[in-house]
Amino acid sequence: MQVYQGAKASPGLVMGPVRRLRHSGPGLERVVQTPGREQALLNAAVVLAKDELRLLEEAAEGTDKDIFLFQQVMLDDPGLNREIASYIAAGAGAAPAVERAAQLYAGRIEAAEDEYIRQRAADVLDACRRVVNILDGRPRTPLRLETPCILVSECIYPSDIVSIGRGMLLGVACAEGSEQSHASIIARTMGIPAVVQLGDDFLNENCAGGAVLDADNGRLILEPDETVRKDAQRRIVGSSILKKRLAALGAGPCRTRDGAHVALLASCSGPEDVELAMQAGAEGVGLLRSEFSIMAGRIPGEEEQYYFYLSCLQAAGGKPVTVRTFDIGADKSVPGLTEDSPNPALGMRGLRMSLAHPQMFEEQLCALLRAGARGPLRVSIPMVSCPEDWLRAMEHVERARRSLRRRGLVFNEEMEFGCMVETPSAALLAGDILAAGCKFLVVGTNDLVQYTYAADRLDGRFSDYFSSRSPAVHRLVGLVIDAAGEAGAPVCICGVHAGSPNQVVRYARQGVRCFSIEAASLLQVKARLLEEDLTAPAAD
Ligand code: PEP
Ligand code: MG
């Protein structure tokens, strides 16, 4: 038995046979022809690769689609293609030219400061590997698994996960990789346990006896002994019982023992997870992070966005949906929009970014106003820190309305606009922002903790500020609750505190009756609230 420690990329515990995934295999012998012929071969291979990627994009769901779209866009990238063409012109074969250009290009991306951009290096390598395999005549049929397996490899690409049937992939264990990579994100959205950064020693071990992948603890156990197997079986059975018990709580409203109704909404990023959240019993969507629909780098136009919001409304099945306008910036970068900034979390982010790109902002507002005529949709604006910010945003809303009237398009004149409370300033000035016309408040505790404690939410060394009691944030939220109470405006709490049953009970005792929670935590919070009597003295 061998135990390897890595980092959790997607939670869960599985046990089963192991299958090694190798990304390179023998191809045809490489023969270099004239530059013109090599360029022609390359062009044909790129067309074929894009066709394959298009098929993968069609088969993928939600944000996973964007990854394959991004890879198609990468293959058309003029910079990358110029680089490849220059090697071919200098006498290199098409395949080595692509390999070399891909390495250099990915290397440059990896040097970027932004973690999200850095992670896109794997997508460039994945797309180029596909072209090279075509040029080399390597078999590119998707890995077919006959039995459900744990896949082990140096690294894993998004296409590996999507091309394997959902039920066949038990888990993923990689020597390298990171929690932020697209492959890890896909594993999380598909509910596939994954561990990264295991080091490459385990790849040389005998795995005939199968493995236990304990992703909850970032661990891979090869050839587990009887005790480890029994323990894993016990935990797997235990967690499925817990899941069933929690799922049974899904139906019906959330009422505390003293009869208070607490609305549990879901925080989502697109129609797929809206549907999952509705199945988990969410009463609506309290935060739709619209920017996740554009993370692949292309900002959809008004029409495309309009249909995207309609599909979210449809997935919510008539329940209310609050869409947040793009919160681009800080760790959510979009190539071509976000720029280097000495302190990105305090720089061009959220509303500031939208105000700097008025056409983008107004197209989004038009799409939202139109979708609002088709279902219960309201809009929140991110990173409003004072009434002036709010009024600037509303000028664009008015312009969007005028544009829709001019074009004779149907939209909801009465659609409600509210704002996120994510900075201490917004909490302190909540009453003034409401007086300026804001209709509701959504408290984002991820950023409120970050900006209150000056603790970077991306730096794991400061995670205690986010998991501990945060009395300063409680006081600020108290001010928000009071201001909202005076103005008669609703308040919803989302972010890290909304996923913690203890914090939710605390805020419920302060009078909050609406939370927006990631679907994975929703039932745990509900189970706790059902047991709680908000009128009884607090335990602490
Ligand atoms: C928050 O800040 O709590 C929030 C929900 O927004 P995001 O995590 O998207 O910044
Ligand atoms: Mg936020």
Asked if residue 232 has pLDDT above 60, the reply is: yes
Q: How far apart are CA 316 and CA 199, in angstroms?
A: 42
Pocket lined around ligand 1, Cβ cut-off 6 Å: 287, 289, 327, 422, 444-447, 494-495
**What is the reported pLDDT for 10?**
83
Q: How far apart are CA 501 and CA 95, in angstroms?
A: 54
Q: How far apart are CA 245 and CA 281, in angstroms?
A: 13
Neighbours of 310 (CB within 10 A): 17
Nearest to 525 by CA among 540, 510, 503: 503
**What is the reported pLDDT for 436?**
98
Which atom of ligand 1 is the closest one to the Cα of 422?
A: 2
**What is the reported pLDDT for 58?**
85
Catalytic residue among 182, 207, 268, 514: 182
Task: Give percent above pLDDT 90 in the chain.
Answer: 50
**What is the reported pLDDT for 339?**
77
Q: Report the pLDDT averaged over residues 417-433.
A: 98
Q: Which of 494, 497, 517 for a ligand 1 pocket mutation test, highest count of atoms within 8 Å of Cβ?
A: 494
Which atom of ligand 1 is the closest one to the Cα of 447?
A: 2
Ligand-binding site membership of 289 (annotated): yes
Asked if residue 134 has pLDDT above 80, the reply is: yes
**What is the reported pLDDT for 182?**
63
pTM: 0.64
Mean pLDDT of the chain: 88
Which atom of ligand 1 is the closest one to the Cα of 495?
A: 3
> Is there a catalytic annotation at residue 492?
no
Domain architecture of the chain: domains with CATH: 2-21+145-247 (3.50.30.10), 35-136 (1.10.274.10), 263-334+347-530 (3.20.20.60)
Distance 495 CA to ligand 1 centre (A): 5
**What is the reported pLDDT for 529?**
96
Ligand-binding site membership of 457 (annotated): yes
Strand order in the sheet with 7-10: 7-10, 194-196, 169-174, 149-153, 18-20
- State CA 305 to chain mean position distance: 18
**What is the reported pLDDT for 412?**
98
* 72-103 residue pLDDT tens: 999 998 888 998 999 998 888 899 999 999 98
Ligand-binding site membership of 76 (annotated): no
Q: Which of 63, 265, 268, 287 for a ligand 1 pocket mutation test, highest count of atoms within 8 Å of Cβ?
A: 287
Name the β-bridge partners of 491: 441
Asked if residue 332 has pLDDT above 80, the reply is: no
> Is there a catalytic annotation at residue 494?
yes
Asked if residue 245 has pLDDT above 90, the reply is: no
**What is the reported pLDDT for 449?**
94
Residue nearest to atom 4 of ligand 1 (CA): 444
Q: Which of 422, 470, 503 for a ligand 1 pocket mutation test, highest count of atoms within 8 Å of Cβ?
A: 422
Ligand-binding site membership of 446 (annotated): yes
Q: Report the pLDDT averaged over residues 166-193.
A: 77
What Rg value do the Cα atoms of the chain yield, rounded? 25
Residue nearest to atom 9 of ligand 1 (CA): 289
Catalytic residue among 174, 207, 312, 494: 494
